[in-house]
């Protein structure tokens, strides 16, 4: 095969008169009174080929039966197009290749969906024929942009003194917050490896080993429910650093992400340093720990102003220890009673709120069914606290603090999406810090770490470990971009006494801790430096950089919502002999429903 290949997207007007050979797929075919026009596509672009039966009869005969997605080799002379036929929408639009040779390298069946158009196609069909889907220009762009982004991340981490180290893909199962994917051992029957949810313990071991600055473009696996920004296997920029605090970690991440973003062709620009919000500030102002700060509509606390209100629903909630909060919807006077009591109330009820109260501020004063229950002073306070102007609506929820935060936080996001309040071209990257160290498991009632059990506690809260662990702040931090968590990290516990107390708060005794984490605890006995790290989701960053809505469109071979890969039909049953060799026997499938 010829080595003098010219990529289809490269020829320009300055190359006219040059003989060249191109290889690619047939993107379009047109037959104009004997002349055959072929658009030939490769990964760089599209070039128009002209085949004249009078000057190239053999090439014309070869091209006669050509159809879309046939693979061709075409040789000829590059010529300028007539001015009236220049295609201004194509980079090669000023030129065309006059063919003297055309060779069919591979024939193709009619594709099940258009490859040459960026039309909507049912996702199951796309994933079943992923090799065709990946030929389309948008996914070609996405995968190449992802590769560019990763290469620049590697470069900027190396510039900052980090050493890239690969950690094992088969490890001991440890509690990381999601289900492990398990791998049975053939040599040790009854024992299993786990696929890593993250390289957490290994990268901390690297700090004990004196690596000082570790990073990895790490593959991670978690057996959890999927959504638009989550896959069972994913990639993260994983780092760990010795002798650092939160600001040292932040400086490294901000430089790495902002630089790689700027040189990878991503949309917009990222400003540094990223603004900081504590977890408590985020929950109080936005109702969620991953707030979209591109629009305001912040939650405002009305509890004290309405404590003695004549509106009994509010007064009773406050008397019972609950809170009242509200948001002002700019221009919300156009919201009808049906809008609010219908779809908006359904949003808050999803988060266990009992209802949604509302008022409109109009030219002639406050209106709404509950306005009569408030005094003039209370209505004035509602307007002042929420910042509501004439023409706005105020939406309020009264309930337990957690319910109010979750329901109004979700409502805020819902309204912003409906009313297009967030600038789609704006990039609002922030740090959220001082997360709670623990949360209570809803199913078991046990205290569990919000991040992981090796996260260091806020120094002012250590004494709460035995008395009130749910009030403890941690030294954990997340990066949030436009309301999406991009990654998280923390300063780690290196004091064995504190680590033992954290395990005790979780109900883990010394024997259990030794069984699960003995290798790490032993390593810490040999001189462990203070250290901290972070893990950023590469796919989520690429999604945002390219403006994609689904993580599957920045992964070459993703899984569907059922964690299946339709192209290869994975996962699939295995031969009984393989199970016997591994010492496994399948239990009956549990009944559905």
What pLDDT, in 10s, does the model give residues 50-69? Answer: 999 999 999 999 999 999 99
1 pLDDT higher than 60: no
Least confident of 350-354, 372-376, 570-574, 588-592: 588-592
178 pLDDT higher than 90: no
User: Which residues, 6 or more positions from 149, have their beta carbon under 8 angstroms from its beta carbon?
Assistant: 260, 261, 264, 266, 538, 541, 542, 545
160 pLDDT higher than 90: yes
pTM of the model: 0.92
- DSSP SS3 for 53: coil
515: pLDDT confidence band, cut at 50, 70 and 90?
confident
196: pLDDT confidence band, cut at 50, 70 and 90?
very high
Run of H or E including 123:
helix 123-128
Percent helix, strand and coil across the chain, each to the nearest 5 = 35, 25, 40
CB 285 within 8 A of CB 297: no
Helix axes 538-546, 137-159, angle to 10 degrees: 120
314 pLDDT higher than 80: yes
- DSSP SS3 for 556: coil
Q: Which residue, chain included where needed, has tokens 């809260």?
A: 461
577 pLDDT higher than 60: yes
503 pLDDT higher than 80: yes
pLDDT, position 180 = 93
415 pLDDT higher than 80: yes
pLDDT, position 2 = 53
CA distance between the termini of the chain: 59
User: Residue 46 pairs with which residues in a beta bridge?
Assistant: 41
Q: Tell me the domains of the chain and their CATH numbers.
A: 13-106 (2.40.50.140), 140-271+430-554 (3.30.930.10), 295-421 (3.30.1360.30)
What pLDDT, in 10s, does the model give residues 70-114? Answer: 999 999 999 999 999 999 999 999 999 999 999 999 999 999 999
pLDDT, position 443 = 75
Average pLDDT (478-503) is: 95
Return d(Cα 435, Cα 166) in angstroms, integer. Answer: 29
pLDDT, position 116 = 94
What pLDDT, in 10s, does the model give residues 209-260? Answer: 999 999 999 999 999 888 888 999 999 999 999 999 999 999 999 999 999 9
Average pLDDT (142-148) is: 97
pLDDT, position 175 = 64
Average pLDDT (289-293) is: 97
DSSP category for residue 228:
T
Average pLDDT (273-282) is: 97
- DSSP SS3 for 187: coil
Return mean pLDDT, the chain: 95
592 pLDDT higher than 80: no
Average pLDDT (405-429) is: 95
pLDDT, position 3 = 66
pLDDT, position 176 = 58
User: Which residues, 6 or more positions from 117, have their beta carbon under 8 angstroms from its beta carbon?
Assistant: none
323: pLDDT confidence band, cut at 50, 70 and 90?
very high
Average pLDDT (322-349) is: 97
177 pLDDT higher than 80: no
436 pLDDT higher than 60: yes
313 pLDDT higher than 80: yes
What pLDDT, in 10s, does the model give residues 444-490? Answer: 778 888 888 999 999 999 999 999 999 999 999 999 999 999 999 99
Return d(Cα 52, Cα 29) in angstroms, integer. Answer: 14
Other C-beta atoms closer than 10 Å to the C-beta of 426 total 12
Other C-beta atoms closer than 10 Å to the C-beta of 418 total 12
Average pLDDT (386-409) is: 97
pLDDT, position 518 = 87
**C-alpha distances in Å from residue 187, one per residue of 27, 106, 193, 583:** 52, 46, 12, 10
**C-alpha distances in Å from residue 305, one per residue of 191, 280, 314, 398, 539:** 61, 21, 11, 13, 45
């Amino acid at each position: 095969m010829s080595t003098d290949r010219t990529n289809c997207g490269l020829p320009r007007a300055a190359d006219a008169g040059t003989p060249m050979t191109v290889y690619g797929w047939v993107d379009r075919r047109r037959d104009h009174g004997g002349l055959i026009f072929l658009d030939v596509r490769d990964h760089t672009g599209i070039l128009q080929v002209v085949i004249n039966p009078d000057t190239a009869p053999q090439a014309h005969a070869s091209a006669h039966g050509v159809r879309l997605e046939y693979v061709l080799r075409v040789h000829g002379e590059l010529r300028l197009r007539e001015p009236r036929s220049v295609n201004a929408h194509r980079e090669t639009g000023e030129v065309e290749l006059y063919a003297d040779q055309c060779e069919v390298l591979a024939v193709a069946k009619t594709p099940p969906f258009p490859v040459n158009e960026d039309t909507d196609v049912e996702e199951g069909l796309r994933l079943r024929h992923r090799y065709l889907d990946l030929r389309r220009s948008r996914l070609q762009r996405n995968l190449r942009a992802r590769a560019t982004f990763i290469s620049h991340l590697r470069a900027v981490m190396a510039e900052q003194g980090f050493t890239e180290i690969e950690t094992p893909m088969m490890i001991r199962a440890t509690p990381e917050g999601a289900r492990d994917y398990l791998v049975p051992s053939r040599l040790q029957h009854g024992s299993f490896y786990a696929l890593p949810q993250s390289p957490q313990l290994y990268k901390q071991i690297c700090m004990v080993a004196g690596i000082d600055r570790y990073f990895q473009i790490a593959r991670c696996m978690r057996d959890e429910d999927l959504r638009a920004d989550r896959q069972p296997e994913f990639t993260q920029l994983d780092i760990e650093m010795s002798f650092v605090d939160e600001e040292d970690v932040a400086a490294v991440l901000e430089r790495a992400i902002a630089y790689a973003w700027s040189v990878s062709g991503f949309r917009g620009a990222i400003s540094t340093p990223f603004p900081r919000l504590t977890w408590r500030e985020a929950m109080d102002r936005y109702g969620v720990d991953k707030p979209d700060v591109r629009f305001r509509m912040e939650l405002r606390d009305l509890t004290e102003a309405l404590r003695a209100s004549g509106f009994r629903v509010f007064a009773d909630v406050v008397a019972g220890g609950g809170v009242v909060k509200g948001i002002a919807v700019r221009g919300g006077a156009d919201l009808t009673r049906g809008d609010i009591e219908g779809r908006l109330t359904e949003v808050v009820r999803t988060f266990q709120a009992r209802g949604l109260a509302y008022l409109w501020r109009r030219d002639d004063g406050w209106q709404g069914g509950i306005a009569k229950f408030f005094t003039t002073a209370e209505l004035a306070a509602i307007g002042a606290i929420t910042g509501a102007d004439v023409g706005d609506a105020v939406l309020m929820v009264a309930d337990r603090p957690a319910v109010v935060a979750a329901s109004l936080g979700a409502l805020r996001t819902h309204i912003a999406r409906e009313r297009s309040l967030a600038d789609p071209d704006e990039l609002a990257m922030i740090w959220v810090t001082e997360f709670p160290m623990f949360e209570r498991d809803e199913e078991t009632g046990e205290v569990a770490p919000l991040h992981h059990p090796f996260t260091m506690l806020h120094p002012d809260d250590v004494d709460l470990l035995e008395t009130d662990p749910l009030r403890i702040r941690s030294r954990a931090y997340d990066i949030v971009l436009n309301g999406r968590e991009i990654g998280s990290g923390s300063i780690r516990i290196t004091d064995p006494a504190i680590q033992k107390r954290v395990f005790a708060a979780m109900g883990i005794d010394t024997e259990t801790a030794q069984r699960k984490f003995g290798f790490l605890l032993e390593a810490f006995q040999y001189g462990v430096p203070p250290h901290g790290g972070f893990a950023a989701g590469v796919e989520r960053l690429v999604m945002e950089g390219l403006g994609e809505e689904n993580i599957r469109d920045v992964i070459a071979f993703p899984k569907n919502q059922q964690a299946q890969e339709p192209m290869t039909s994975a996962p699939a049953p295995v031969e009984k002999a393989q199970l016997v060799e591994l010492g496994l026997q399948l239990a009956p499938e549990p009944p559905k429903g």
